[in-house]
Structure 1
């Protein structure tokens, strides 16, 4: 029974959406919040699409959700989604409101929802995903999320019983979610000549989750990502149903086993995290019902969103802009590792401060000491420029990692950082920025472009 309060909330939210559109404001959160203030159980009363694909996890959920949306669109589907908005309760409500008419009836059969893992206790009582893909669970934003096991417990307690899970077989934390639920796994086999980062600082599963004995890793790709077993109780990593068996870097393609059926796909991005994101997207869409041929055709058209990663040749310099989520030690460590492995001489510009941290300077800085800055202590890295309110914290951590002080430069404003790059020493310039500070990337690229133009005019 929807009732008067439901329709009052629905009409208020619809009007708010129109008003925000007229004012050219991005109303991704407020209409849903307004609806739930008027009718607290609004989400429970409203009609929802018949099939809901949810994407959650610490890292990669936005990229993976975007790939899923793009593949579905390429195959003729038109899901309601929150790719332009919030993944917490208010944003999810706003998204679903956009998919119902004034009679409260849904006009969409399919939804693709990126879902904040911390908000699951508020969302899942009302929104029951048909499929839920969890990319991984890592430490992130300590002040809010505490620890990966804390987030695991929240998800584990609130995932609906009827939801089919698509889990990362190589993630020894998230692979154990909601044991009673139907599930499939995706993963990446250890590759020939693969360089494994076994000395990363964080390992959140050193002990067997069943008996507490020390786990034996068959291989550890990075942090707790890999496969392991327990010699005491027999616990071991699950076998992947959707398994990347071959990553061919020279051709830019991957081979996957889709429940035993071999398929070849274009690689989307060059890092192992890109491969995990793609494997997860392929797994959940296979469960949804897309064929290997449909997936292969659509993946050929995929590209990483430029706001997340972009490469451009400016003069004789390669300029790479990459998200490296501040307050997220694993995300930053992965980017630092890829920079170390990149060929040539490199300069690195750190613009990692979260906007809230920049305004309040109250964020817990422990994440900096869980991040593998040691990857930046390499002869191929000629300069590291630290910018923003935490610039001196980054400098201290770099010094502790062994980076020579003469390689480190500190700049107060991120917008000035590109002016400090020594163009004579580096072949490639990396700009690393937080997900909410992409504007710094555009400013930095323009600055480098102007400096290269001036340099060319003088030569």
Structure 2
């Protein structure tokens, strides 16, 4: 787009506002871009872009994948910028372009990595053509925004530019079908011991062939619609992957990359972490980094502490685990991780939507799409539910088969740690929404204090 005198006036005003916000100690990650777009709707399109742009989107995992990619790029000496600490919607992208340009709008770095909210693609991708685009997966999400995954697929297909090279999840038949005429590579986890044909989840968003509606024959279904299948009617099938995990071990994984095997370290071997790590590896390889370099660098990188963090306390574990509010698939994965974690577990559930809770308005039907049944396992010895919707979650847990004597629930989040029966669990999980990390961290401190006191009492 042509840059007019008015564009340069908007650029100057927005950069000046950003400068003043920083002087006042504000982070300026969103408002300068929001102002620029309000003054000039085509601002993102008119701003000069770096020589190479990488975009990462998808329902779940995009922040973790983006952080892994950015960590590797940083440790390998790449000169780039990203929105790790900013918004992944259009105003955040505009702010990032402002922050990494001179006063004439020219980019100060040659590479940019953008995490993009899939529902903002219509406001970003028409004005910024990626050189590489990764999609982690397509699931149903918050009912308020994108509960229908086929709508999200149509949305992305409409706004992702033609010809952009795609990196897609081969085990997700919706994700793998995005932009079918674009060049693409796929990543996949090969069938592992324990993978079966049936799904243990309530939500199944690919009940039939995405192409013809025919019956699918599943080779394996890992969870929800993630797995490998072929249509009995038209032959449509999960694609062959270019990056395939062939072997999963406790601390690493073997990945076949176009016929060559490489070993990569893992922070943990839960399927969510494996998919996220594999997606990052695929993108970094397509970007041009050698697999051996990626493997060496990943060895010193863990999962983002805002997504998952374990800390040992006198032989037991306190674990922070993101469980995105009103996202039944993300919560189901977290619940299964709790069930599958070794030993006896307790879990503190902060599942209320942060913004809705401020107005006491929330659609609770998502609770009945989430697999609370995983928490009825006998190894889960206590569940503590805190927040405005504690009665709703309590009822859902009862319907999932959790005995009432294992559940404590309360309206005030401040009382959650006090309710913990510290003598019983080997690990305590704290599940929280993306906007309540501070609450989770404060609760974790109280939990660790309680575990230390219990250990001291036992020592006496």
TM-score range, shorter chain: over 0.9
TM-score using structure 1 length: 0.97
Q: Following TM superposition, by how much is the alpha carbon of 1:366 offset from its aligned partner in structure 2, in angstroms?
A: 1.7
Q: Does the 8 A contact of 2:53 with 2:131 survive in 1?
A: yes
Match of 2:48 in 1: 47
5+ unaligned residues in a row in structure 2: which ranges?
Answer: none
TM-score using structure 2 length: 0.96
Match of 2:411 in 1: 412
Q: Following TM superposition, by how much is the alpha carbon of 1:74 offset from its aligned partner in structure 2, in angstroms?
A: 1.5
Match of 2:101 in 1: 100
In 1, Cα distance between the equivalents of 2:52 and 2:267? 26
Match of 2:438 in 1: 439
Match of 2:367 in 1: 368
| RMSD, aligned α-carbons | 1.5
Match of 1:182 in 2: 183
In 2, Cα distance between the equivalents of 1:24 and 1:317? 39
5+ unaligned residues in a row in structure 1: which ranges?
Answer: none
1:27-46 matched pairs, under 5 angstroms: 27-46=28-47
Q: Following TM superposition, by how much is the alpha carbon of 1:382 offset from its aligned partner in structure 2, in angstroms?
A: 1.1
Secondary structure at the aligned position of 1:186 is classed as strand
Q: Following TM superposition, by how much is the alpha carbon of 1:345 offset from its aligned partner in structure 2, in angstroms?
A: 1.4
Per-residue displacement from partner, 1:387-443 (whole Å, max 9, x unpaired)? 111111111111110111111111212222011011122221111111110112221
Secondary structure at the aligned position of 1:348 is classed as strand
Match of 2:85 in 1: 84
Deviates more, 1:370-379 or 1:190-199: 190-199
In 1, Cα distance between the equivalents of 2:96 and 2:54? 13
Q: Does the 8 A contact of 1:133 with 1:167 survive in 2?
A: yes
1:160-179 matched pairs, under 5 angstroms: 160-179=161-180
Per-residue displacement from partner, 1:73-111 (whole Å, max 9, x unpaired)? 111102111000000000011111122111221221100
Q: Does the 8 A contact of 1:5 with 1:38 survive in 2?
A: no
Number of matched pairs: 457
In 2, Cα distance between the equivalents of 1:58 and 1:414? 28
* Alpha-carbon distance change, 228 to 446 in structure 1, aligned in 2, over 3 angstroms: same
Match of 2:23 in 1: 22
Deviates more, 1:367-376 or 1:338-347: 338-347
* Alpha-carbon distance change, 5 to 269 in structure 1, aligned in 2, over 3 angstroms: farther
Secondary structure at the aligned position of 2:28 is classed as coil
In 1, Cα distance between the equivalents of 2:49 and 2:104? 13
* Alpha-carbon distance change, 455 to 292 in structure 1, aligned in 2, over 3 angstroms: closer
In 1, Cα distance between the equivalents of 2:25 and 2:249? 45
Secondary structure at the aligned position of 1:382 is classed as strand
Match of 1:217 in 2: 218
Q: Does the 8 A contact of 2:126 with 2:159 survive in 1?
A: yes
Per-residue displacement from partner, 1:33-73 (whole Å, max 9, x unpaired)? 11112221111111001111100001100000001111111
Q: Does the 8 A contact of 2:196 with 2:221 survive in 1?
A: no
Q: Does the 8 A contact of 1:58 with 1:140 survive in 2?
A: yes
